[in-house]
A and B are shown apart, each in its own frame.
Chain A
Amino acid sequence: MTTSLYELGHLDALEAEAVHVFREVAAEFERPVLLFSGGKDSIVMLHLAEKAFWPGRIPFPVMHVDTGHNFPEVIGYRDRRVAETGVQLIVASVQESIDQGRVREQTGPRASRNPLQTVTLLDAIEEHGFDAAFGGARRDEEKARAKERVFSFRDEFGQWDPKNQRPELWALYNGRRHRGEHIRVFPLSNWTELDIWQYIGREGIELPSIYFAHLRRLVLRDGMLLWPNEHVPLLEGEETFEATVRYRTVGDVTCTGAVESPARTVDDIVEEVAATRITERGATRADDRASEAAMEDRKREGYF
């Protein structure tokens, strides 16, 4: 909170920075889009975008890159929020990319559509002519993300070149691009997981229910608690059990793990996050476990 000394608390300072970034993009780009997964970071982004343009409407659409392997609670939430804010929702479907032969689906019981999202995302950016795409990535999530600019240039193939990033001084963002190139914009770059939760609590932001402790039937696979369903079939010898869990991140059901937790409220979660000793991606994301540079490699190709 602000004090009489003209000091801004850290959440207010982070909010002011993000709002500035949203307005800068709205002013300088022709066709921005906000990537909206229904996860907590994209939910906070949407909330900040509403603040940036109030009392006007958000002047760009949101896009969900949909693997088809979703948590139903998240899709329900997405559709509700979209209706409330009045933004236009674009769904870029991985299933369609598969049907059109743009990508080949992995087979086998451990198959995941997560890597296919990059193709669907880049195709959709091209198809709609988007020149800026807001992403909810935070630098505290992962060591390659820690290196990325707020305005991150992508060439005509959607690629990120980590060794050749534009210098980014002060809050003077260089959003210039040629036709076919685009900029990924990360308004939450400087937020940590704890900041996100403190902000959700302070602002009273509603979240999909799976972020809070609930009873769920699960299977333990490769050290992760996965939710068995039609997209996550049980392997031979695997047994399911019930546990009280919540999700720290929300992604494709085939690669997003739950964590055991009794935290039922935002306050509980803030307390838990402040004390936790393991990163959210380390705890819950199979996609990052492939190699030491898994995220960097995916980002180079154009991943979120």
Chain B
Amino acid sequence: MEMLRFATAGSVDDGKSTLIGRLLHDTKSIFSDQLEAVERTSAQRGSEYVDLALLTDGLRAEREQGITIDVAYRYFATPKRKFIVADTPGHIQYTRNMVTGASTADVALILVDARKGLVEQSRRHAFLASLLRVPHLVLCVNKMDLVDYDEGVFDAIATEFRHFAAKLDVGDLTVIPVSALTGDNVVTRSANTPWYEGSSLLHHLEALHIASDRNLIDARFPVQYVIRPKTSTHHDYRGYAGQVAGGVLKPGDDVVVLPSGLPSRIAAIETKDGPVAEAFPPMSVTVRLEDDIDISRGDMICRPHNQPAVSQDVEAMVAWLHEEPMRPGGKYAIKHTTRTARAMVKDLRYRLDVNTLHRDEDAPTLELNEIGRLRLRVTAPLFTDPYRVNRTTGSFILVDESTNATVGAGMIL
């Protein structure tokens, strides 16, 4: 069965957690003890209906405040797919948790309250989803029950969003009118929206074609760990373990190892279960080469005529994730694939206004939740592809070396 990861996005109270609760409930993925607990809590609070958001808002503080603070991961399966759901917070203060959930998503569900229409946070999240290159967007116009399932309201929001999305790099966009509270168009199509001809949200998620979202062209194998058993049975064994980041690797392939540039050939691709004929993302395998060359963690195996950029200078869009603003000229630890080095912030080219997409070239720094284009100088060369070509070899994180906090998320241009 194929796995699909999706994340919610959108402003506070637009109904993200309720929608996930509804999906879980209506696909019968909620266990009776969980549902009873949620019913009990809802009743204790004098709520007229069962608050399905309590299914994902699992922290005490979240339940007390009725908001989502950090991502909740939930799981359900239909006969067609296994789903990993990241329910993310809408509150601007917790944007870093939203990007955590969206970074690995195949699909982002952007919720909008039909009564309010697009607000700044809906645009911010749509922009972040496009920046993170979530391949598929679904705009869920929620709370249709509160606008009498009015087609005009839906159309106006859909049009406005499409207009905004046209300025972004959005691969695939679908718009669905829903009510998370009552379940309209969530699992089954609703009689309340006869004017809507598309499929229900669940049906859409089941049918989306995601296999071609991965890069199967450019072979990239970041060496993660060198296996040298030094036992009597495997005395001279030397295998390079890692997760395929792009392309397809086969025994017999000519390869080159970066940064040394030394050529070799793949002798075998192995796992404990036996050799494999082809390795592709996201398989974790062990590669053996025909030649004994010095290779260590952080090196990259690729094909001679298809190599990533090798450079100590990196240009990237960076989302700032920490309360302490970016220090221009400051040094940070950088983690890119299996490579860790140090990076200095050379230049903030511009800061982006996520609402208008205006570029402010005079911005002095990036503050929490701000996004800008940076030039970094790294102590060792990184082997990179543009993020739009490969989400694995195109991404990095910045870590503050004194506090060890993850402070930035970078997408290489």
- A→B interface (CB under 8 Å): 5-10, 12-17, 19-20, 23-24, 26-27, 50-57, 139-140, 142-144, 146-147, 162-163, 165-172, 174, 176-178, 189-190, 192, 194-195, 276-279, 282-283, 292-293, 296
Which residues on the B side are within 8 Å of A27 (C-beta)? 224-225, 297, 338
- Give the CA-CA distance A158 to B354 in the complex, in Å: 38
Which residues on the B side are within 8 Å of A56 (C-beta)? 227-229, 231, 234, 237
Contacts A167-B409, A170-B391: A54 and B59 contacting too (C-beta < 8 A)?
no
A23 adjacent to B74 (CB under 8 Å): no
Which residues on the A side are within 8 Å of B399 (C-beta)? 174, 176
Looking at the complex, which of B111-119, B144-152, B254-262, B276-284 is the stretch in contact with chain A?
B276-284
B60 adjacent to A293 (CB under 8 Å): yes
A53 vs chain B, min Cβ distance (A): 6
Report if B241 contacts A (CB, 8 A).
Answer: yes
Determine which of A53, A140, A163, A195 lies in contact with B74 in the assembled complex, contact meaning CB atoms within 8 Å.
Answer: A140
- Give the CA-CA distance A128 to B326 in the complex, in Å: 37
Contacts A6-B280, A147-B70, A279-B33: A169 and B409 contacting too (C-beta < 8 A)?
yes
| CB within 8 Å of A: which B239-264 residues | 239, 241-243, 248
A296 adjacent to B2 (CB under 8 Å): no
B271 vs chain A, min Cβ distance (A): 7
- Give the CA-CA distance A26 to B242 in the complex, in Å: 12
B284 adjacent to A20 (CB under 8 Å): yes
A63 vs chain B, min Cβ distance (A): 22
A279 adjacent to B34 (CB under 8 Å): yes
- B→A interface (CB under 8 Å): 1-3, 31-34, 37, 41, 55-56, 58-61, 63, 69-75, 77, 82, 84, 96-97, 99-100, 103-104, 211, 214, 216, 224-225, 227-229, 231, 233-234, 237, 239, 241-243, 248, 271-273, 278, 280, 282-284, 286, 297, 321, 333, 335-336, 338, 391-392, 395-397, 399, 404-406, 409
Interface pairs (26), CB distance under 8 Å: A5-B211, A6-B211, A6-B214, A6-B248, A13-B3, A13-B282, A14-B3, A56-B229, A143-B34, A143-B55, A146-B73, A147-B59, A162-B59, A163-B61, A165-B70, A166-B405, A167-B97, A167-B321, A167-B409, A169-B99, A169-B100, A170-B391, A170-B392, A189-B73, A190-B75, A277-B31
Contacts A16-B243, A167-B96: A50 and B409 contacting too (C-beta < 8 A)?
no
Which residues on the B side are within 8 Å of A279 (C-beta)? 31, 33-34
Which residues on the A side are within 8 Å of B286 (C-beta)? 54
- Give the CA-CA distance A142 to B73 in the complex, in Å: 11
Which residues on the A side are within 8 Å of B60 (C-beta)? 292-293, 296
- Give the CA-CA distance A54 to B284 in the complex, in Å: 12
A119 vs chain B, min Cβ distance (A): 23
Determine which of B2, B32, B406 lies in contact with A9 in the assembled complex, contact meaning CB atoms within 8 Å.
Answer: B2
Given A50-B272, A162-B59, 7 more A-B residue pairs with CB atoms under 8 Å apart are: A8-B3, A10-B3, A56-B227, A56-B231, A143-B59, A147-B73, A163-B70
Determine which of A16, A139, A172, A177 lies in contact with B73 in the assembled complex, contact meaning CB atoms within 8 Å.
Answer: A139
- Give the CA-CA distance A195 to B3 in the complex, in Å: 12
- Give the CA-CA distance A168 to B321 in the complex, in Å: 11
- Give the CA-CA distance A292 to B399 in the complex, in Å: 35
- Give the CA-CA distance A171 to B234 in the complex, in Å: 31
Which residues on the B side are within 8 Å of A16 (C-beta)? 243, 282-284
Determine which of A7, A14, A15, A169 lies in contact with B211 in the assembled complex, contact meaning CB atoms within 8 Å.
Answer: A7
B395 adjacent to A170 (CB under 8 Å): yes
Which A residue's beta carbon lies closest to that of B33? A282
Contacts A20-B243, A27-B225, A279-B31: A174 and B335 contacting too (C-beta < 8 A)?
yes
Determine which of B72, B392, B397, B405 lies in contact with A146 in the assembled complex, contact meaning CB atoms within 8 Å.
Answer: B72
Chain B contact residues: over half helix, strand or loop, or mixed? Answer: mixed
B3 vs chain A, min Cβ distance (A): 4
- Give the CA-CA distance A55 to B63 in the complex, in Å: 48
- Give the CA-CA distance A279 to B32 in the complex, in Å: 8
- Give the CA-CA distance A26 to B225 in the complex, in Å: 8
A7 adjacent to B2 (CB under 8 Å): yes
A292 adjacent to B41 (CB under 8 Å): yes
Contacts A144-B59, A190-B75, A190-B84: A17 and B69 contacting too (C-beta < 8 A)?
no
Which residues on the A side are within 8 Å of B409 (C-beta)? 167, 169
B57 vs chain A, min Cβ distance (A): 8
A170 adjacent to B104 (CB under 8 Å): yes
Which residues on the B side are within 8 Å of A172 (C-beta)? 335-336, 395-397
B234 adjacent to A143 (CB under 8 Å): no
- Give the CA-CA distance A279 to B224 in the complex, in Å: 36
Which residues on the A side are within 8 Å of B336 (C-beta)? 172
- Give the CA-CA distance A295 to B192 in the complex, in Å: 41
Closest 8 A-B residue pairs measured CB to CB?
A: A143-B58, A282-B33, A54-B272, A56-B229, A19-B284, A169-B103, A176-B404, A16-B284
A176 vs chain B, min Cβ distance (A): 4
B100 adjacent to A167 (CB under 8 Å): yes
A52 adjacent to B84 (CB under 8 Å): no
- Give the CA-CA distance A155 to B99 in the complex, in Å: 24
Which A residue's beta carbon lies closest to that of B57? A143
B32 adjacent to A278 (CB under 8 Å): yes
A15 adjacent to B284 (CB under 8 Å): yes
B103 adjacent to A170 (CB under 8 Å): yes
Q: Which of A5, A19, A189 has the most chain B CB within a 10 Å cutoff?
A: A19
A19 vs chain B, min Cβ distance (A): 4
- Give the CA-CA distance A146 to B392 in the complex, in Å: 25
Contacts A10-B1, A55-B233, A279-B33: A147 and B71 contacting too (C-beta < 8 A)?
yes
Which residues on the B side are within 8 Å of A19 (C-beta)? 243, 284
Contacts A174-B397, A296-B58: A23 and B335 contacting too (C-beta < 8 A)?
no
Determine which of A55, A282, A283 lies in contact with B229 in the assembled complex, contact meaning CB atoms within 8 Å.
Answer: A55
A84 vs chain B, min Cβ distance (A): 14
Which residues on the A side are within 8 Å of B34 (C-beta)? 143, 279, 282
A282 adjacent to B395 (CB under 8 Å): no
B23 vs chain A, min Cβ distance (A): 15
Which B residue's beta carbon lies closest to that of A189? B73
Q: Which of B3, B41, B55, B233 has the most chain A CB within a 10 Å cutoff?
A: B3
A204 vs chain B, min Cβ distance (A): 11
- Give the CA-CA distance A34 to B213 in the complex, in Å: 35
B95 vs chain A, min Cβ distance (A): 9
